[in-house]
Structure 1
Amino acid sequence: MTASQMQARILIVDDETAHLQALCDLLRDHNYETTGFANGIEALAYLRNNTFDLLLTDLMMPGLDGIAMVESARKIDTDLACIVMTGEGSITSAVKAMKVGALDYIIKPFKISAILPVLVRAMETRQLRMANAKLELQLRQHTAELVILNQDLEQARMQAEIANRAKSTFLSNMSHELRTPLNAILGFAQILASDSLQTSLDEKKEFAKHIEEAGSHLLTLINEILDLAKVESGAMKLSIEAITLDEIFAECKTMIDPLAQKRGINVSFAENTNLHVSADRIRLKQVLINLLSNAIKYNRHSGTVSVAAHVADDNHICIQVIDTGVGLSSVQLETIFQPFNRLGREVFNEEGTGIGLSLVKHLVEAMEGSIGINSQVGVGSTFWVKFPGTAAGIPYQQPETKAMVYEVTSGEKSSTQKYLLYVEDNPINLKLVAELIRLRSDLVLLTATDGLLGIEQARLHLPDVILMDINLPGIDGIETRRYLLSDPRTAHIPVIAVTANAMPADLENGKAAGFFAYITKPIDIEQFALAVDSALEFAASKKPI
């Protein structure tokens, strides 16, 4: 006998007791382990608590016949190999048995030599079924694992794409922010060093002041970028200690008062709080000064800023910086802590790096704290920070945006003079370009501080050439260019992009937008002059009659 036969367990069901006993005895002699029952009900009850390899059942039995026996048994054990025995021998009963899961059909009476091969085939079929079921299970498991693996790979790919886009956006924004102050520094420096652009002593002092201010802004930007890089990489060393809030508030008040007085903003600090927080003293002051500076710079006329502190429900110390500024929309709040995102605040012509709040968030979290904001448009904003610790006005009016006209020659515009419109929201950049063309008697410079005003100026004056910044409040320079192209009155005017957006993708976008030339900041004076002259020549050849 084979090993499978020696190990096989057979459940025999037959209402003929003599036949049942004889069959059990004969199969035991051939190394099968047998258990017999004279009715199907008892056999099924036993099968529920015991395991068998084969079921050998009579077809015609009182109560539960062989067909029902096979069907019920396979519901208990789907791997059970079933064989039906009967003296009837009809094709109909054989088909019924096979439909419910019987593997074979034996006609009574039979010799033991006739049934042994049937049992062997049944055992082999059972083992094949079980092997196939195991393979199917493994295949399903492997398929599920492959699906999970593919999902993980897809998620990793998406995260990599997001990271790459974020990296590209960061580099593009950083390039823009670095080039903006550099434009003023190098531009005014070139004017001071030029033999052809004569300047008075007062103008030299003014230009030197612009260079100093731009250099200071650039230094602040570089320091904040370095701080952000340090804290993101975990390289920034923090000295966490118990800090008295009243002392920090007093130090911040001393530092922030000059800016508040200059802007006419009333700043008040909570007194005698008797609260202590666990934080790094220097970085906590950096966080509060940043929040206070923003609250002052972007406040309304004669607005207020108040600093409060209390023990929050989670037993952390909550510090609030509350302002009466213009507030932020829900869309702005979604991206408020992104680096270089100034949320449209550039419309105020305020100097800013756009990474202050991102740095603040990283610093707060590095000190085991949390940060958030509540804001309502037209009412104001409340920034709050929480740290572990213990307890011991006038309605806002949008500044009026006015177009400025720099006439570089005295008297009325002559027939030989050309209009040059510069659309730029940064006053220093406006001043720089005005100085670059000051000695040109053939030009009158018009300026606009946003895209919509630029379109209005272009339609009103029909300038010969337009200079266009890209990062403008409201509609940007690309969109403004599209408006000008779509208007038959202004479509012919050559437009030169003058921008700090200097990444390859920015240049491609500028080319697609149809700019006559694309000049990146810091401005090179010779390149600027050549581009303007080329645009003037083009305008003269294309100007409508």
Structure 2
Amino acid sequence: MPEPTGNEPGASPFPPGDLGTPPTWRPVGRRALPAGISPSMADDADRLLEELHQRQEAFEQQGQVLRQVQAALARAQATNQELALVADRATDAILICDARRCITWVNPAFTRLTGFTLTESHGQQPEELLSGPHTDTATITRINQMLAQGATVERLEVCHHRKDGEPFWVSRSVQPLHGQDGQINRYIEVLHDISEHRRAESEHNRRLEAEVALATKSEFLSRMSHSMRSPLNAILGFTQLLDMHDTGHLPEAQRRQIGHIHTAGQQLLSLLDQALEYARLEERPLGIRPQRVDMSMLLREVRAALDEDALAQEITVVVDSQCPPLWADPQHTRSILLNLMSNAIKFSPRGATVWLQGRVAQDERVGIVEVRDQGFGIEQHDLPRLFQPFTRLDTSPGKPVGNGLGLAVSQRLAELMHGRIEVSSTLGKGSTFSLHLPLAEGPGALRLGQLRSGGEPAVMLPPLRVVHIEDNALNRSLVEALFSPYPQVRLYSAETAAEGMASIEATHPDVALVDINLPDGSGLDLCRRLRGQAAFKKLPLIALSADALPEHIARALQTGFNHYLVKPLQINRLLTILSQLPSTQAAPPQ
């Protein structure tokens, strides 16, 4: 059996019996190896050590990469959480669609806007889900064509319908997303609700059309009046000449015919005047100048003006002149009472009595002037029609019936003075027309712009800073008087466009009243300058002008004015507009 060499597997590199004795080293080349270690074994050990070092470095690199991946995953998770939070809290509706544009996810704002939940929306295309009767098919076709071409849809406005069928307007933006293969694999869509903006735009257009239509009607009536008065002038003039010069040459029948022509011409002229007056009242450019009116004196004046008519009809007029003072326009109040008294005399039988008397209402807030007759009376179902234009009731055969505008005009005048006309009637016994107007004195006195009982103005205004640009001193005084009962309104007056611009820039008002024709330029140019500045882009601007041509009104509104009021100043309308303005209630800049 051969002797062991010590190189066998598992053999100890030390000689038997010398386990505790240090090995004897011998040099091999430049290295010294322990006794019993061959150079090949040393090389294998070096290789193993080198391999271990390499694997250790690889493990360390892999650990570093793993840590980087974990950090990236953590960042991605945090980003996803933030994106999810943004999507949940976003006010715009956001939805994600797959490559076929079927909905896979929606945010809560989508549900709030449309009424559809994710479960109800999943798998449906947005157009199928949201389109309805008001949706423009051409716009939907355009969206589909753009997306089919791989284009992005940017803020395209379209009308859709909610789950309950209510239409709403949105601005749609659709962004296609591409996968690694370059193909579109999903879409992200944002719906921005613009319903309020569209309503405001529609209201502005409606107001513009109304202003233009109002001015167009006014111009038409003015031209019609001018055109009709010329032939009426000839008719009435020639009938008067015939009556003056040919009384002895014409037969009695022809003279009566000439009288009929003249009467018809006068009636036509009266109808024309009342129609124009009623149209002006509807437009509200009529100047109402309320003041303390001594009704006792006014009632006596009305009676005196109609004495001849009453005597001709053998009518007795009884006047109670103990009427309290009223707060009204004296000219228009006289016009109303003359119309009511004239009707009472006209429709009363001969020998009857007409009463004209005033009193205070039970609540002591208004005064009442009553005109009571003993005429034929009015059917109850006809009473609501009395104040409609061109309504004539056949209640008294043989009596003149008029043109059906007098009561409509009178009622409108009363309304403009914060009053009204009421009527009661009994067939066979007569009618009573009651004019209600604010008291000028007493516990319930009410004056335009002053305080109601309880301390509230007739028209409430918020705290406002108002810049008034007007070169006419009387017009400036009128506006100053208009705002004098409102301590919460601070008025800044300017005579020129330059002064007005400086005042607006210095005070930053809540509203500006601008005359169109100014000595140093046009109010339109001032409007353009203001709209060109970010600070005044939304400043309410009200044009005040005597120019009522439709094209001029349309140009002013298109330039940027919010309202256009035709002079004479429409006080009630102006106050109503101002009462609806929001107030910044901020102190003007120093």
TM-score range (shorter-chain normalised) is: 0.3 to 0.5
Structure possessing the higher radius of gyration over alpha carbons:
2
> Please, what TM-score do these two structures have when normalized by structure 1?
0.39
Q: Which is helix-richer, 1 or 2?
A: 1
Pick 1 or 2: higher relative contact order, CA cutoff 8 A, min separation 6: 1
> Please, what TM-score do these two structures have when normalized by structure 2?
0.37
